Amino acid sequence: MNLTDLLTEEHIITDLACRDKDSVLRELVSVLTDPGASITEEVLFDVLAERERLGSTGIGNGVAIPHGKVKGIDRLLVSFGRSLHGIDFDSLDGKPANLFFVLLAPENSTGVHLKLLAKISKMLKEKEFRTGLMQASSGEDIFKLIKKRDGEL
């Protein structure tokens, strides 16, 4: 499965307005819910916040991949956000995070969820890719970079 089968430009926030961990999670789930949907932003936030209490998903090098499983959704949900100033996310290396991928999976999903997490992690380990995401001038440019790299893996 390609990441860009799930991620659209509407799910990309080019300059996160928030300044703390909880606000990052709230802002990133805000682009994933539809008005009138049975799953609310609060439910999605609670899943991510609970996962963060178990241990930070800030993996270092300016990257965080908040993720979790949600009862009541029937497909994977993905969003991306970039913070130009960096946000303290309790990352493993102690440095602020700038690049965030949120991945929410149906409660009974395993294989696809883990494969997508691994793919995102692999993409973000590459310094050139991270630099490109930070320097991109628009959501469209970010999406194009992700799509290009996604197709190469």
Q: What is the CA radius of gyration of the chain?
A: 14
Cβ contact 101:79 at 8 Å: yes
The stretches in the chain having pLDDT less than 50 are none
pLDDT digits (tens, 9 = 90+) for 103-126: 999 988 878 888 999 999 999 999
The position carrying tokens 């990133």 is 28
Here the CATH number for the domain that contains residue 59 is 3.40.930.10
Residue 37 has what pLDDT? 63
At residue 17, the pLDDT reads 92
Residue 153 maps to a domain? no
Q: How far apart are CA 9 and CA 144, in angstroms?
A: 9
Active-site amino acid positions: 67
pLDDT at residue number 15? 95
Please state the pTM of the whole predicted model. Answer: 0.93
Domain extent, residue 137, equals 3-147
Number of domains in the chain: 1
Domain assignment present for 114: yes
Return the pLDDT at 39: 84
Q: Does some domain include residue 152?
A: no
pLDDT for the residue numbered 46: 95
Looking at residue 35, its pLDDT comes to 59
